[in-house]
Amino acid sequence: MGAMTHFRAGLSSSVNLKGAVLAAAVFQTAGAALPPVPVPPENPITESKRVLGKILFFEEQISTSMVVSCATCHVASTAGADPRVAVFPGLDGVFNSPDDIQASPGVVKADGFNSFQLDTLFALRPQVTNRAANSNINAGYAPDLFWDGRARTTFTDPETNQIAIATGGALESQCVNPPVSSVEMAHAGMNWAGIEKRLQRVRALDLSTNIPADVQSVLNTTRSYRELFRLAFGDEAITARRIAFALGTYQRTLISDQTPWDRFQAGETTALTPNQQQGLQAFLSVGPQGTNCTACHVPPLFTDNTFRNLGLRPIAQDNGRQAVTGNPGDRGRFKVPGLRNAGLKSTFMHTGQFPNLGAVMAFYGGVRNVNPNPDNRDPALNGVNLPPQVGGQVADFIANGLLDPRVRDQTFPFDRPALFQSPGRAANQTSVVNGTGVAGITGVPRIVVQSAPMVGNRDFKIGLDNARSGATARLGISTVAPQNGRITPQSFFSEVTVGNTTSTFGVATQFWPLVAGRVSGGQVLFAQWFVDDAAAVGGQALSSVVRIPIFCGSAGCPSTCSMSDLNGDGFVDDHDFVIFAGAYDAFEVPLADVVADLNADAVVDDGDFAIFSVAYDALMCN
């Protein structure tokens, strides 16, 4: 009989339904540790694969905005969920209305060419997901993942459509969704071939600082993703299956099993405070006078991984599991989350509508009597009994008794580098400086920057929003800070025409590949849009000014020589020549996906060959 079976047997025979008294025998028969995490035989855990997965998990350069990684939305110190709170306006499309969702910001909408595109809800601001982020900690135990379970146990390779993992592959299934999502990480039409090209041309974790020791020791030997994949899989091929296998491997090591409750289960009687012990007793109590929390939140994972309808919102707003299974009986059902480390979260439920555990306890305290959305509501809720005093004790147990200090403090294996968008990286981030611009017929044009101004970032671009449709616009650049809200441009990009997104105003995009030789680390540049508009003072509408601090990545600033090292092995040799020759005279969309476009002019031609040949003759790049 396994530890979980012992636990359930002990629970049913040891709880006094009137007083909810937990007998000591339960603690003696219950296993303290979580069971071994299931590992699919098709994807065994290896150290090189784990480290590659950890690198990929924090790699912001996978996204076409260059500022979103898996770790952007899954932060250990907030229980593997997203500490950021952004609003999705719900089914009615109206902000600040009852059906709003508190969820995660992603990328500014972009088309298949990676040009900014006006979104009907978010304009040229980061789009927001329509559900809150689930925790990835202990996710390896779940048969299916996402709130609706659409990441299934059977993992199908998205490139070959072949089954890669027969069962137990929910993590791999989950991994391949966000990188190609045009809301979360990608421009429209991004596919896995494009992501693989991106990884071929970037240096691993170049945007990150304070890199964990286990990762840094590997990056000290190579920053080439080709080489990292060779170390993990035996050859340099970068594929969607291998990316998913590496990410799944890493996340199977994110096991939170060192809480006070675990120590208490192992016999350390003072691991839980008296109030937390009372909360535990209440949590485990079943029957007419019990809380019946364990109907869904079953120890030791504190979830049964089922899907339930709590009646939080009308089903018409989000039918949940039914969208995956097609079963009307699944309407409005969402995954039961685990409660380990839940006290660290900043929002609760798939809607993110509760800001803390107190609000959650209040909801369950009234769930028997308040039932605004009864359609297909789970009958288990009829047994929930959580008066305020008991709710406070249960909340104390969950918040503190189920807290793993390694998760809270982000220590191994929950450690992380500082991402580009971390608050501590403000010195590297673009910012709007003083000045309000000059209004035109549509008001003041807005300058939009989301990408990182890192030397070597070929995806860097600056957008224009709220400008007169059909107008001619130019982006000006200066090394001198603005005076009276405007710069004196030392150079202009070529004219662009403001796209017609409505009858009145439109948007535009200026691509600006930050290649070595054109910009250098330490430069501070200032940019401003100048838009022809007869309604503006002086005939030109002006955006605000953005300050652009050019910086070198954690691997150092690339040189024109190192740019020619297309396979990242430290040499420019015949291997790189083969890659270059395969791209020569090729045109690819979007522009940044051209691996061998060394001068960033959107085509691999004689200009790139001239750069490559110098490095090729030198052979070695330092």
| CATH architecture observed for domain 259-403 | Orthogonal Bundle (1.10)
Amino acid letter, 139: A
As a whole number, the mean pLDDT across the chain is 90
| CATH architecture observed for domain 430-549 | Single Sheet (2.20)
User: Which residue would you say has higher pLDDT here, 1 or 468?
Assistant: 468
Please name which of 368, 569, 538 lies closest in space to residue 437, comparing C-alpha atoms: 538
Q: Give tens-digit pLDDT for 276-321.
A: 999 999 999 999 999 999 999 999 999 999 999 999 999 999 999 9
β pairing state of 524-532 and 496-497: unpaired
Q: Whole-angstrom Cα distance, residue 331 to residue 315?
A: 7
Q: Whole-angstrom Cα distance, residue 536 to residue 427?
A: 34
Residue 415's pLDDT band (boundaries 50, 70, 90)?
very high
Q: Which helix (H) or strand (E) holds 497?
A: strand 496-497
Q: How many CB atoms within 10 Å of residue 524?
A: 13
Distances (CA, A) of 21 to 283, 290, 291, 401: 11, 10, 13, 18
β pairing state of 496-497 and 431-432: unpaired
Please name which of 200, 232, 192 lies closest in space to residue 575, comparing C-alpha atoms: 200
Exposure string over 142-159, b if 16+ CB within 10 A, otherwise e:
bebbbbbbbbbbbbbbbe
Q: Give tens-digit pLDDT for 166-207.
A: 999 999 999 999 999 999 999 999 999 999 999 998 999 999
Which pLDDT score is estimated for 587?
54
Share of the chain above pLDDT 90, in %: 80
pTM of the model: 0.90
Q: How many CB atoms within 10 Å of residue 388?
A: 11
Which pLDDT score is estimated for 602?
62
Q: Residue 280 contacts by C-beta under 8 Å, 6 or more apart in sequence?
A: 22, 261, 264, 272, 397, 401
Angle at CA of residue 179, ends 176 and 184, nearest 5°: 125
Q: Whole-angstrom Cα distance, residue 539 to residue 532?
A: 6
Give the domain ranges of the chain.
47-251, 259-403, 430-549, 560-618
CA 182, 187, 193, 194 torsion-angle sign: negative
What are the backbone angles phi and psi of residue 542, rounded to the nearest 5°? Answer: -125, 140
Q: Whole-angstrom Cα distance, residue 73 to residue 386?
A: 32
Q: Whole-angstrom Cα distance, residue 341 to residue 259?
A: 9
User: Please, what CATH class does the domain formed by 560-618 belong to?
Assistant: mainly alpha
Q: Give tens-digit pLDDT for 38-83.
A: 999 999 999 999 999 999 999 999 999 999 999 999 999 999 999 9
Please name which of 568, 576, 619 lies closest in space to residue 226, comparing C-alpha atoms: 568
Q: Give tens-digit pLDDT for 552-605.
A: 999 999 876 766 777 666 678 787 787 777 776 655 544 444 567 776 666 777
How would you classify residue 80: left for phi > 0, otherwise alpha for psi between -120 and 50, otherwise beta?
Answer: left
Angle between the 192-201 and 225-233 helix axes, to the nearest 10 degrees? Answer: 110
Which residue shows structure tokens 């910086």? 551
Angle between the 225-233 and 47-57 helix axes, to the nearest 10 degrees? Answer: 150
Q: Do domains 47-251 and 259-403 have the same CATH topology?
A: yes
Please name which of 529, 477, 526 lies closest in space to residue 498, comparing C-alpha atoms: 529
| 467 in Cβ contact with 565 (< 8 Å) | no
Q: Is pLDDT at 423 greater than 80 in this prediction?
A: yes
Q: Whole-angstrom Cα distance, residue 299 to residue 548?
A: 51
Please name which of 198, 112, 107 lies closest in space to residue 458, comparing C-alpha atoms: 198
Amino acid letter, 171: L
Q: Residue 55 contacts by C-beta under 8 Å, 6 or more apart in sequence?
A: 204, 205, 215, 218, 219, 228
47-251 CATH fold: Cytochrome Bc1 Complex; Chain D, domain 2 (1.10.760)
Which residue shows structure tokens 């929002």? 347
Q: Is residue 580 packed enough to be buried (19+ CB in 10 Å), middle (13-18) or exposed (0-12)? A: buried
Give the length of the chain.
622
